[in-house]
Structure 1
Amino acid sequence: MASLDLKFAMIFLFQMLIGILGNFSLLHHYLSLYLSGYRSKSTDLILRHLTLTNSLVILSRGIPETLAAFGVTHFLQDFGCKLIFYVHRVARGVSMSTTSLLSIFQAITISPMNSRWAGLKARAAKYIGPSNILCWILNILLNIRVPEYTTDKLSNKTLSKTIDFGYCISELHDKDTDLLYILLTSTHDVLCLGLMTWASGTMVSILCRHKQRVQHIHGTKVSPRSSPEIRATQSILVLVTTFVSFYTFSSIVHIYFFIFCKTTSWVMNTSALINACFPTASPFVFLSSDQRVSRFFLVCTGRHKQFLHPFRAT
């Protein structure tokens, strides 16, 4: 095994372990809060759904990429390749849709009572479950043709333009015959990114205006600790910037494959690492920005008596 392949194998393995640990830690956090009697926020259901989806994205791509980097290349047959790539594409699409959905519901939740979103604040929680189901149905249908373009390396199928992943082969879409399919998938991605950016910008604007009003009421004294508005704004900016950056890089790599029809092992490995970066990093962003994590830790360690209302929901 080449030294570079061994390095990528160890990086894949480390990234997969960290990603699964982070997502299941976030899921355990929300389940523990629920079982402890803490009143859930309206977005907690979306976050629990997102952790499971992100775990599926990491495992469906991380396991075969790790095995291939270790030199095990012929462990999937034609059906296995089709299933793995279909599951990964659906889970990736659902993760993108759910992240966009989360941003929209957060923007509705923190909007002032006199805003145009005020009428949706009370009804928003009822639409979370159906919206999650709709994300799955939409992406299952949208990626229905993925298995058609994927096969194993030992297949006798004649493919013109392909991407060699080391363990499976994926045929690039023909821009003339598959224009409608490419347009649909691209529209979904652009729409999700646009809604996420718009919702996040709206939240940042609301939080900044709220901070200015609070400073006007309480004076200009600067607290040594960052205000909740600043911490929330920072977490939103980190999340959106991370998502858009990783998705942009992934799109650039795909466009490179489509135009030049060339693949190299280090570019493929780097692309796979970038695709799993957001599902790996997002749970730690959510955990660091959720004040209930520290409150729940205080209760579990018996230090909650120092606080009058450790479990009052915000």
Structure 2
Amino acid sequence: MSFFDLKIAAIYIFQIVLGTLGNLSLLIHYICLHCRGDREQSTDLILRHLTVANFLVILSIGIPQTMAAFGLNDFLKDFECNLVLYVHRVARGVSISSTCLLNVFQAITISPRDLRCANLKLTVPKYIGPSTLLFWALHMLINVIFPIYGSSKRNNKTTSNQNKLGYCSLSLNDNIKFSLFTALISSHDVVCLGLMSWASGSMVFILYRHKQRVRHIYRSHVSHRSSPETKASQSILVLVSTFVLCYALSSITYTYLAFFGNPSLWLLNASPFITRCFPTISPFIFISSDPRNLKNTFGPVSLLEK
């Protein structure tokens, strides 16, 4: 085992431990809020599903990739390889969809109180539960191609391309179908990235207008602290920047790996690390931005609803 492999394994282990602790802290955070008797918010359900998806994203590929970094190459059999990829792709899709839904819901929540938005604010929370379940069902259905590939490989005697992933090799029996599947997944990522960018931009714009309207209040209370709107805008920008950067790079690397069976070593190691970045970092962002914390950053939501 080379020193480079040892460094890669150490980085993977650090990321897995940090991501596991972060998501576990988020779950404990909600348990403490429930024990404290705080009123449950509509976004809590989205975040619970998001936390489960993040756990699966971190562990499903993180553990096999770490073992591969320690020198255990191609230790997963065909069915196990496809099952791991299936769980990972489902969890990754749910993580992206849930984060997008969370941001869109927050944008609707702080939107101005006109008649159309008022009706939307009343109806949207009713569909959060069904939407989160739909995400799981939809991505389980779309990504069923991986178990199918696993079974078809055993029954197909023709020569197939091998996409080497380190811990296993994925058999590509039909490049055309797999290319269409990759395009479908990439289009889903692009749509979610676009919706989240739009929702985040809308929230920042609404918070800026609200800050302009209440500027005289802040002038009458001289303080060196940032306004709640500024803190909220910063939190939104941190979240969306992390999301867009991580998943945009992840989509690019996955597309490249799907079409090129023998990628370079650094790309093979960087791809799973990039994919796990947002599930690792996001729990700390969500905890710090929860309005039920001592110094919340989403305080303007409550201000706008008064």
TM interval, shorter chain, is 0.7 to 0.9
Shift of 1:260: 5.0
**CA distance in structure 2 between the partners assigned to 1:173 and 1:47 by the alignment:** 38
Counterpart position of 1:51: 51
8 Å CA contact retained: 1:8, 1:269 = yes
Map of 2:189 onto structure 1:
189
**Cα separation, 1, equivalents of 2:174 and 2:31:** 46
Partner of 2:278: 278
TM-score (ref. length: structure 1): 0.85
Structure-to-structure mapping, 1:1-314, within 5 angstroms: 1-114=1-114, 116-149=116-149, 160-171=160-171, 176-178=176-178, 180-219=180-219, 223-258=223-258, 260-294=260-294
Q: Take 2:33 and 2:17, find their aligned partners in 1: how far apart are those partners? A: 24
- Total equivalences in the alignment: 297
Offset of residue 174 of structure 1? 5.7
| Amino acid in structure 2 at the alignment position of 1:53 | A
TM-score normalized with structure 2 length: 0.88
Preserved CA contact (<8 Å) 2:160 2:173 = no
The offset of 1:10, in angstroms, is 0.8
Unaligned runs of 5+ in 1: 297-312
Secondary structure of 1:219's aligned partner: helix
Matched residue type, 2:254: H
> Is the 1:172–1:258 Cα contact (8 Å) retained in structure 2?
no
4+ residue stretches of structure 1 with deviation over 6 A?
Answer: 154-157
CA deviations over 1:168-204 (Å, ceiling 9, x no partner): 1124586644454344323222211111111111111
Which has more helix, going by share of residues?
Answer: 2
| Aligned partners of 2:163 and 2:258 also within 8 Å | no
SS in 2 for 1:163: strand
Distance in 2 between the 1:158 and 1:6 partners?
A: 37
- Percent of matched pairs sharing the same residue: 56
Q: Note the alpha carbon deviations across 1:106-138, whole angstroms, 9 max, x for none.
A: 111111212632211122221111010011111
Q: Which amino acid aligns with 1:93?
A: G
CA distance in 2, matches of 1:47, 1:202: 21
3-state secondary structure, aligned to 2:26: helix
Structure-1 separation of matches of 2:19 and 2:136: 22
Alpha-carbon spacing, 1:240–1:74, altered in 2? closer, same or farther (3 Å): same
Residue by residue, what CA displacement relative to the aligned partner does 1:65-97 show, whole Å, maximum 9, x if unpaired? 111111123432222111111000000000000
Task: Provide the rounded CA distance (Å) in 2 between the counterparts of 1:257 and 1:49.
Answer: 28
Residues 149-176 of structure 1, C-alpha deviations (whole Å, 9 max, x = no match): 459xx99976544321111112458664
